[in-house]
C-alpha cells in the first residue's frame, strides 16, 4: 500500500444477487487531491463510495482508506470521512445551527457549540444560522450539507453529485471552496456528471457497468483516448450531421453551438470519411477533443478504455 494515498484499494467488488454493481476496481487517490468520479446513472459510483466510507461491506477486495483497512476498520474510517449524499438529507423544520448541532451530537463531539459556530463561520452561513433549512435555496442547502459533513474535521470528503440542481454561480463558489480545502490537505472523491466540473479535478476515474475504464489526469484521459476531432461550420448543419452519421471512421457527430464536432479514434479513416464534405460552403478545422467527447466514446465502446494511473 502507498503511504501517500488517502485511498488505495484493489479488486473492490460488490454484488447484489446476480448483479455485480462494482467489479474489481483498483483506485488510488493521493492525499490533497481532488478526484472526479464519473459515469452514467447506475454505473456503480454510489456503491463504490459507500464501500469506501464503511456503509457497505465489499464482497471481495482489499486496501486502505486514510491508512485504515476498508474491510476490518470501517467503523474507524467513518469517523474520519465526510459523506455528502445526492439528496438534501437535513430537517426542513430545524435551523441551520440546529441541524449542525444534531450532526455534532451524532459524532459525540465535545464542545458542540464551538464546533457548530466554527462550521457556520467557515462556510459563510453566519447571517443565516437561524434560518430554517426548508427555506434555503439550492446553493445554501449545498453549503449546509458541506458544513455538516465537515463538522467533525474529516480528512477525506466523499461527495455524491453535490451540485445537482444548483445554479452556475453557486457551483463556481462551491468549487472554489473545494480547491481551497484541498490546498489545506483535504482529499476529495467527487461523483459528478458535469464535464466542466471534471476539468477542475486533479484526477479523473470513469466507471461503466461497475468497471473502472480509465483513471488519470484530465490531460492523460484525453490523450490516452486517441480521439481525433474536427469542427465544421456552415449552413444546414443538421442536414450535414445526418449525412455524416454512421460513415466508416466517424464515431461521433455532436452539435456545439454554431459548429459540429466530428470525432473518431482512427485519424486516417476519419479524414477519409469527411474528405468529400470539405468544400464550400463548409469550413473545417482540427480541434482539441474534450472530456465530453472522450466519455461518450468510452460509453459507446466500453472495451476501449485503457486504465492509466
DSSP output for the chain? --TTEEEEEEEEEEEETTEEEEEEEEEEEETT-EEEEE--TTSSHHHHHHHHTTSS--SEEEEEETTEETTT-HHHHHTTEEEE-SS--S-TTSBHHHHHHHHHHHTT-SSHHHHHHHHHHHTT-GGGTTSBGGG--HHHHHHHHHHHHHTT--SEEEEESTTTT--HHHHHHHHHHHHHHHHTT-EEEEE---HHHHTTSSEEEEEETTEEEEEE-HHHHHHHHT-EEEEEE-S-HHHHHHHHTT-TT--EEEEETTEEEEEES-HHHHHHHHGGG-STT-EEEEE---HHHHHHHHHH-GGG-----
Go through 235-274 and write b for each residue having 16 or more CB atoms within 10 A of its CB, e for each that does not.
eebeebeeebeebebbbbbeeeeebbbbbbbbeeebbebb
The grid coordinates of residue 138 equal 439550492
Domain ranges of the chain: 5-217, 222-301
Classify domain 5-217 at the CATH superfamily level. Answer: P-loop containing nucleotide triphosphate hydrolases (3.40.50.300)
Which pTM does this prediction carry? 0.85
Closest CA to 123 of 155, 150, 104: 150
pLDDT of residue 306: 41
Closest CA to 277 of 231, 227, 224: 231
pLDDT of residue 308: 38
Give the span between the Cα atoms of 252 and 266, in whole angstroms: 12
Strand-strand pairing, 34-38 and 203-208: parallel
pLDDT of residue 123: 85
CB within 8 Å of 81: residues ≥ 6 apart: 52, 53, 54, 65, 66, 154, 155, 156, 157, 158
What is the chain's pLDDT, residue by residue, as a tens digit (309 residues)?
456 899 999 999 999 999 999 999 999 999 999 999 998 888 999 999 999 988 899 999 999 999 999 999 998 998 899 998 877 788 999 999 999 999 999 888 888 999 999 999 988 899 999 999 999 988 888 889 999 999 999 999 999 888 877 788 888 888 998 999 999 999 999 998 888 889 999 999 999 999 999 999 999 999 888 999 999 999 999 999 999 999 999 999 999 889 999 999 999 999 999 999 999 999 999 999 989 889 888 887 645 444 434
The residues that bridge with 159 in the sheet, in sequence order, are 84, 190
The grid coordinates of residue 299 equal 460509453
Q: Tell me which residue has cell 458542540.
A: 112
pLDDT of residue 2: 54
CATH number, span 222-301: 3.30.70
pLDDT of residue 301: 65
Amino acid at each position: 500500500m502507498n503511504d501517500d494515498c488517502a485511498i488505495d484499494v484493489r479488486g473492490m467488488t460488490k454484488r447484489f444477487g446476480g448483479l455485480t454493481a462494482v467489479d474489481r476496481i483498483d483506485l488510488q487517490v493521493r492525499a490533497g487531491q481532488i478526484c472526479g468520479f464519473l459515469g452514467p446513472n447506475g454505473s456503480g459510483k454510489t456503491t463504490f463510495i459507500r464501500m469506501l466510507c464503511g456503509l457497505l461491506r465489499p464482497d471481495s477486495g482489499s486496501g486502505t482508506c486514510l491508512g485504515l483497512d476498508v474491510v476490518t476498520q470501517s467503523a474507524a474510517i467513518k469517523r474520519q470521512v465526510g459523506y455528502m449524499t445526492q439528496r438534501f438529507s437535513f430537517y426542513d423544520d430545524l435551523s441551520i445551527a440546529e441541524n449542525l448541532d444534531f450532526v455534532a451530537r451524532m459524532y459525540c463531539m465535545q464542545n458542540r457549540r464551538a464546533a457548530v459556530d466554527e462550521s457556520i463561520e467557515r462556510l459563510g452561513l453566519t447571517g443565516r444560522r437561524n434560518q430554517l433549512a426548508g427555506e434555503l435555496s439550492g446553493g445554501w442547502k449545498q453549503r449546509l450539507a458541506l458544513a455538516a459533513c465537515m463538522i467533525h474535521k474529516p480528512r477525506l470528503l466523499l461527495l455524491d453529485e453535490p451540485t445537482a440542481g444548483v445554479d452556475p454561480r453557486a457551483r463556481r463558489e462551491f468549487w472554489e471552496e473545494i480547491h481551497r480545502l484541498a490546498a489545506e490537505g483535504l482529499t476529495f472523491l467527487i461523483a459528478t456528471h458535469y464535464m466542466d466540473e471534471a476539468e477542475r479535478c486533479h484526477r479523473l476515474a470513469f466507471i461503466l457497468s461497475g468497471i473502472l475504464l480509465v483513471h488519470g489526469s484530465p490531460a492523460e484521459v484525453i490523450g490516452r483516448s486517441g480521439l481525433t476531432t474536427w469542427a465544421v461550420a456552415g449552413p444546414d448543419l443538421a442536414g450535414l450531421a445526418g449525412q455524416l452519421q454512421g460513415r466508416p471512421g466517424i464515431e461521433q457527430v455532436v452539435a456545439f453551438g454554431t459548429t459540429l464536432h466530428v470525432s473518431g479514434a482512427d485519424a486516417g479513416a476519419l479524414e477519409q470519411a469527411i474528405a468529400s464534405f470539405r468544400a464550400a460552403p463548409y469550413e473545417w478545422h482540427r480541434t482539441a477533443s474534450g472530456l465530453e467527447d472522450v466519455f461518450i466514446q468510452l460509453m459507446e465502446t466500453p472495451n476501449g478504455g485503457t486504465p492509466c494511473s
